[in-house]
Chain A
């Protein structure tokens, strides 16, 4: 099977950012969307399934009080205490856990917690990481070197440990809860955005149109805002989605180890799994399996969206459509050769 690519003028570029638009704000986002719509085959499937799964959880999160049968901390109803570690039944589809709380409600409210934390964390990371990356990449110099060193150090450090320590330290000031978890996760992910954005800016900075802008006297703020920004945000959606997926795992990890959100403040899947370890020893599976499946599903959904986006937007991975071509039959054009010279078959060679 041959798979040679046609030599494009100027060769293929290894940058994964397409050339920048003319600076109109709607342009790049619209183009992103158009590329998404053109997705083919498996990538398309990835995207839409992932989006559907994520949407389900978002709905659960937003409408939790309306959907969940009971409160996330509710261990009795009408003065009657729920069964402790009761197996799944008609009134408790997912059973109850050791605190006599309905597992299904915990799972549903857990979505709310997860989405809240993740949205906060991603928002914070973007607001901090993207500008830092742009400034560092554009100005260079000692600021850049220092930032890169710090970010690299943070990036190299085992993320969970970092999160644990920060959660730990913030416990006394901010109290454990959604905000603490969000901040802890933000600190881990800022370096990622920083690196990617900085890398984008570094390559875009050398582009001729930026040089031209500088030559025309544009201020750095203008250049960064109008030219570089849109170039840079091309890679952000994929990173943000994959980061969101990671963030949920980190949150659950924190909860599992006991450094996350406490059950009195909000339902959290990781915490339930920690409690579930003991249950598992006794063969009680429902207290762990349902929260666990929730984690797997939401993270898978987000990852599918991220992978699908990557497939579609990343020019390296983008597949040519390779549509079948049907060559039309040749028209019976005038094939008789002219009379100027004795037509001797076209292969005649002049010496």
Chain B
């Protein structure tokens, strides 16, 4: 692991137990994030990206099992004690949630939220120091000091999200997961939030994992992007590279589905996201892939480095020696019956 990496995830698996069986929300994911870098994580709803984000911080419900490795600053997080994890959360690891309206305690003033967070990690601070730091962080988010003692319900959605971001950042964590931070907000507010996140990087070298289903945000705010499908990362690399020359069919389809001013006809990927309890064999995307080959339905693809430089898990990129004879023939498949949809 290079010294530059703040976070290194290797082969992470997070599975939940349900009546029907285990949900393989995260099924063998690996990536790195460097200092000061923003990695975008895109995928459809239900592909496991939220679980991944929470899994890194250890915020999973009971009944889930985790295995693999998450190294944060040379420290292994998987299997670490809950109390140690709690110490790191807020101070070294941060999480920004999707829905800001309900994330603040309605009975507590904003100032009290900050005091609580700061005291939890730095108990020796005086009240004045706490207030000073809180107000300073809020000001950077565009919240005026006059509103410091207000209650959450007195703020709009966009302002609440900014307060949430301020709370996540007040202790200057080295790594922050932002789980769809702008999905619930309108476009104008979204732009403000993105610019705040950009400043973060500039001023504090904070590493960010930006989880979203919006490719536009990724293009604008991320240096690198990882594309996730059904619990696995199918493609990962430099954002501009991936968008201009996508290697994985899923990425390609995603890009084709986005709507822009030049769109004349709607494109969509047939079928639905797969059932994570019993995902399709081999490459999880093969039932919906326009370029699927015989081998795709039977063998899990191996991660390779594509010609343009990004990592990709797709048999289209080989390695050729691992494909059994006849495997490159196009996949024969029945019509996707609606019953097959998850």
Contact = CB atoms under 8 A, between A and B. Distances in A.
**A and B directly contacting (CB within 8 A):** yes
Interface of A: 1-7, 9, 11, 38, 320-327, 330, 333-335, 337-341, 343, 346-347, 349-350
Contact of A320 (B61, B300, B303): B61
B107 interface: no
Interface in B42-67: 45-46, 50-51, 54, 58-65, 67
Contacts of A327: 13, 15, 65, 67
B61 A325 contact: no
| Consensus secondary structure, chain B interface | mixed
B63 A321 contact: yes
Given A333-B300, A349-B2, A349-B34, A3 B18 contact: no
Interface string B284-321: 00000000000000001011111101110000011100
B15 A334 contact: no
B16 interface: yes
A320, A327, A337 — which one has the most chain B CB atoms within 10 A of its CB?
A: A327
Contacts of B58: 2
Given A6-B51, A350-B309, A338 B304 contact: yes
Contacts of B65: 324-327
Nearest to A3: B61
A309 B13 CA distance: 36
Nearest to B180: A7
Contact of A322 (B15, B17, B98): B17
Nearest to B13: A327
21 contacts: A1-B82, A2-B61, A3-B62, A4-B54, A4-B60, A5-B61, A9-B45, A9-B46, A321-B17, A322-B17, A324-B65, A325-B16, A327-B65, A330-B11, A333-B302, A337-B305, A338-B302, A343-B305, A346-B32, A347-B2, A349-B2
Contacts of A9: 45-46
Contacts of B51: 6
A199 B32 CA distance: 51
B5 A322 contact: no
Contact of B61 (A322, A324, A330): A322
Interface residues of B, number: 54
Given A330-B11, A350-B237, A325 B64 contact: yes
Contacts of A330: 11, 28
A323 B17 contact: yes
B19 interface: yes
B63 A340 contact: no
A325 B322 contact: no
A4 B61 contact: yes
Contacts of A1: 62, 82
Contacts of A333: 300, 302
B319 A339 contact: yes
B303 to A, nearest CB: 7
B205 interface: no
A326 B82 CA distance: 20
Given A6-B16, A350-B310, 13 more contacts: A1-B82, A6-B51, A7-B180, A320-B63, A321-B19, A322-B63, A333-B300, A334-B302, A334-B322, A338-B304, A340-B305, A347-B32, A349-B2
B19 to A, nearest CB: 6
Contact of A347 (B5, B22, B319): B5
Nearest to A7: B50
Contacts of B318: 338, 340
A340 B61 CA distance: 41
A39 B15 CA distance: 23
Nearest to B302: A334
A346 B28 CA distance: 14
Nearest to B322: A334
A325 B22 CA distance: 6
A108 to B, nearest CB: 43
A256 to B, nearest CB: 43
Contacts of B179: 7
Given A333-B302, A340-B304, A323 B54 contact: no
Contacts of B98: 7
B8 interface: yes
B113 to A, nearest CB: 18
A323 B305 contact: no
Given A2-B58, A3-B62, A6-B51, A347 B8 contact: yes
Nearest to B319: A338
A323 B13 contact: no
Given A6-B50, A327-B13, A341 B305 contact: yes
3 closest A-B pairs by beta carbon, nearest first, are: A322-B63, A323-B17, A338-B304
A5 B179 CA distance: 14
Nearest to A339: B319
A322 B18 CA distance: 6
A221 B114 CA distance: 54
Contacts of A324: 17, 63, 65
Nearest to B99: A11
A325 B63 contact: yes
